[in-house]
Amino acid sequence: MGILEIVRMQDRRDGRLEGKLEGKLEGKLEGRLEGKLEGKLEGKLEGRLEGQHEAALKIAAELKKEGLTVDFIAKTTKLSLEEIASL
């Protein structure tokens, strides 16, 4: 086995090791980043939905005081009949 063959084998081995290491690191970093982003987005979405739901409840209460039917209020606010009836 000549020196050139030994050098080529070492280069191939080094290349394989680099590829494996890069793949593992990229996978870990992508997973962490995706997890953090999903958590933040879920938190923001839940917060917004809660705020919208509370606003819809306030509007429904006002409409109910004005004497509008529960069915109409449910259609316009997208709240359930039970939620509106409990106001």
What's the token pair of residue 34? Answer: 């995706």
Residue 4 pLDDT > 80, yes or no?
no
| Mean predicted confidence (pLDDT) in 54-80 | 91
Could you give the number of structural domains in the chain? 1
Query: What rounded mean pLDDT belongs to the chain?
Result: 86
User: Domain range for residue 60?
Assistant: 3-85
| pLDDT (mean) for 38-47 | 85
Which has the higher per-residue pLDDT, 78 or 17?
A: 78
Confidence of residue 32 (pLDDT cuts 50, 70, 90): confident
Residue 60 confidence (pLDDT):
92
